[in-house]
Amino acid sequence: MDRNNTDYIDATEYKKLEDKLKVLKTVLDDNTNKVEAGRKLRYADIDIEAEREAGRLQPDELYVPQHIIDTNIRREQSPYVQYITQSPRAIILADKIDLTIDYALLERDLSEKIRYEGYQLPMFANIDGFQSNGYGVMEIIYDKDKPGNIAIEAVQFGDFSFISDTKDLQLVEMVARTYYFTRTRLVKLCGDGTQTTQFNREQVDRVIARDPDNMGPQEASDCKDKSLYKIYKVMFRVGGIVQVAWCCPDSCDDWIRIPQPLFIGRRKLLPQPTPQMIGLQQMVVPQQSQVPQSADVYETAFPYILFPYLISENDTISQSKGRVFLDQDLQEAVSSLMSSTVTQARRAAGLYFSKDVSDPNDELLMQKNIFFRSGCIINSKVTQFHLDAPDPSMFSSIQMLVTANMNETSQVNFAANNRRDSRKTAKEIETSENQQQQLSTVQVVLFSIALTQLYRTMVEIIRSSVLTGVIKVNPILQQLYAREFTVKPSGDTDVLEKQKLIQQMTNAWPVVQNTPAAQMFLSDLLELMFPDRAAKYIDAFTKANQQQQSQQAQQMQQFMQMAQSMAAGIIHLSKETEMFSDMGKLHALPVVKQAAAQLEQLQKQLTNGKQ
């Protein structure tokens, strides 16, 4: 390969790009080997019986694999999954000019197009992939069967390649992705050979002339149990436009499908005819459709979005590290310690015997490997002994390694809760839970950045299809689509900010619970914590308050009736002076008359108020 050759730049001829294709093919093979090695480590894929037959394990030895890599990956997945699925909407929109514009209707419509049926599967696969390998890749594809004419696919680490020193995926010269086809599917894609979108039958025949590719380590008896062929989709730019071609450098000497501009659903409006032109057209041919004229827009950026697991000072993509790399040494150490300890315990549980003699020649002609049975007579003095049991501190050492790894993976709450001492306090547990929540929030911020880029690209493509009339929506949505707005994942608000607000309100509840705002505060907190169930809790509060208010109203009414009756009695008594004795007229009657006068004045005021 001539490193100084520049003929491949802006070229579409296979011969000029062949060396580049072979380099990418080599990178794909290396990535596939890395993935297979990583999977063996993650799942501890070891055949114990085969290891014993090979002599690497003794018959009484036992290997106890520890799945620390897989455990850490699964433990960290919850915040990512929650970030994607918890919110009822996929994105949040904000107008670039008028912030008072309500985009709730548009957010719901775009969420239905982005969250099509089955959208979770590629996203979950991508999360698992970048946790394992250090980075993951999502591809945006055109799919007319989806509500938004667009879909996403997770690209496996071993099926995607670029030059190893790449720092920005959009600045690389060429990328390649592996696809897997059966012989039937390859022949069907050739069609009749009259269209440029079909595969070249001559090149396909070269591919299917050999045996299917081996997709992983298989036994010799399974050699015939294969049906898939590896075909590579490559993308490169010509004149700034991304070109897509299909090839198989190992078997073919030309493109399986010639390079074509990349189209994933983006469209633009063409200059519309003037009213005079419309009138002339209507005179010649009646206007059959009011759909505006539009044209396909070919992509200038690769439709691949990179999801890094960690960010460090080393910005070379291929140097990104995931949990397989970070935990492999610890997993091997813990597995080795656990296996040695268990094997030692098994050996210590056995009974061992020897003849109780001091003559070194006494063992001549002696029968060995005898198994003792109950009731048998032994014609010699024997000594029974056993091997030492494992030191109990060995389990503490294993626990220490696992706990240290939990701290390293930002799971300090597990480290505190799993500690076996009795000095754990409620404050320590609460602090661990709060810190875990904060760490989980920080953990998905990097994921949010990549997801924002993915959603923005998808929204741009859907928006172009709506404005050009390819996707039909109601007039209100059409007007909202025509505005300029920003896009960000709903998880930023509905998950990250929501969790922060819940934590703040929970901490403030002891202060608020004895104030008049307690019920309103509690209702808001329940809506945040349990959006699906909060309605019935709030309804119970409302009914209880209504019942309490009704009881208070009845009691007040009874009290008013009693007060009115007592007032009428006092007024009547004040006018019946003969009912008082001489002493009563002197001391009680003035008080009664004063009270009656006040009651009569109050009744007049109430009557005037009603009037």
DSSP symbol at 367: -
Supply the DSSP string of 172-230, one letter for each residue: -SEEEEEEEEEHHHHHHHHTTS-STTSPPHHHHHHHHTSPPPP-S---GGGTTS--EEE
Determine contact, residues 469/446, Cβ cutoff 8 Å.
no
How many CA atoms lie within 13 Å of 236's alpha carbon, on the beta-carbon side? 26
Q: What pTM, to 2 d.p., does this model score?
A: 0.74
Q: Which of 168, 176, 136, 167 lies closest to 153, judged by CA? A: 136
How many whole angstroms from its chain centre is CA 407?
Answer: 22
Determine contact, residues 584/559, Cβ cutoff 8 Å.
no
- Position 290 scores a pLDDT of 65
- Position 494 scores a pLDDT of 62
Helix locations, 89-178, DSSP H: 104-114, 120-133
For residues 168 and 260, give the distance between their C-alpha atoms in angstroms, rounded to a whole number.
Answer: 24
For residues 253 and 237, give the distance between their C-alpha atoms in angstroms, rounded to a whole number.
Answer: 21
DSSP symbol at 47: -
For residues 453 and 487, give the distance between their C-alpha atoms in angstroms, rounded to a whole number.
Answer: 9
How many CA atoms lie within 13 Å of 369's alpha carbon, on the beta-carbon side? 0
Stated as kind and residue range, the H or E segment containing 139 is strand 135-142
If DSSP states are collapsed to H, E and C, what string results for 550-579? HHHHHHHHHHHHHHHHHHHHHHHHHHCHHH
Supply the DSSP string of 423-450, one letter for each residue: ---HHHHHHHHHHHHHHHHHHTHHHHHH
Determine contact, residues 126/138, Cβ cutoff 8 Å.
yes
Supply the DSSP string of 275-341, one letter for each residue: HHHHHHHHHHS-----PPPEEE---SS-SEEEEES---S---GGG---HHHHHHHHHHHHHHHHHHH
Please calculate the CA angle 288-293-297 and round it to the nearest 5 degrees.
145
What count of other Cβ atoms lies within 10 Å of the Cβ of residue 485?
20
- Position 2 scores a pLDDT of 63
Q: Which residues contact 318 (CB under 8 A, 6 or more apart)?
A: 162, 164, 165, 166
**pLDDT block averages, 10 residues each, the chain of length 611:** 78 94 94 92 84 84 88 89 85 90 92 94 96 96 95 96 94 96 94 86 94 67 78 96 95 95 94 63 50 90 95 90 92 89 84 72 62 72 78 80 70 42 48 47 80 96 95 94 92 68 84 86 81 77 79 80 82 80 80 83 70 42
Residue 363 burial (C-beta neighbours within 10 Å; 0-12, 13-18, 19+): exposed
Q: Which of 75, 123, 86, 67 lies closest to 439, judged by CA? A: 75
Q: What letter represents residue 51's amino acid? A: E
- Position 255 scores a pLDDT of 96
- Helices and strands counted in the chain (H then E): 19, 14
For residues 519 and 502, give the distance between their C-alpha atoms in angstroms, rounded to a whole number.
Answer: 16
For residues 241 and 245, give the distance between their C-alpha atoms in angstroms, rounded to a whole number.
Answer: 13
- First vs last Cα of the chain: how many Å apart? 104
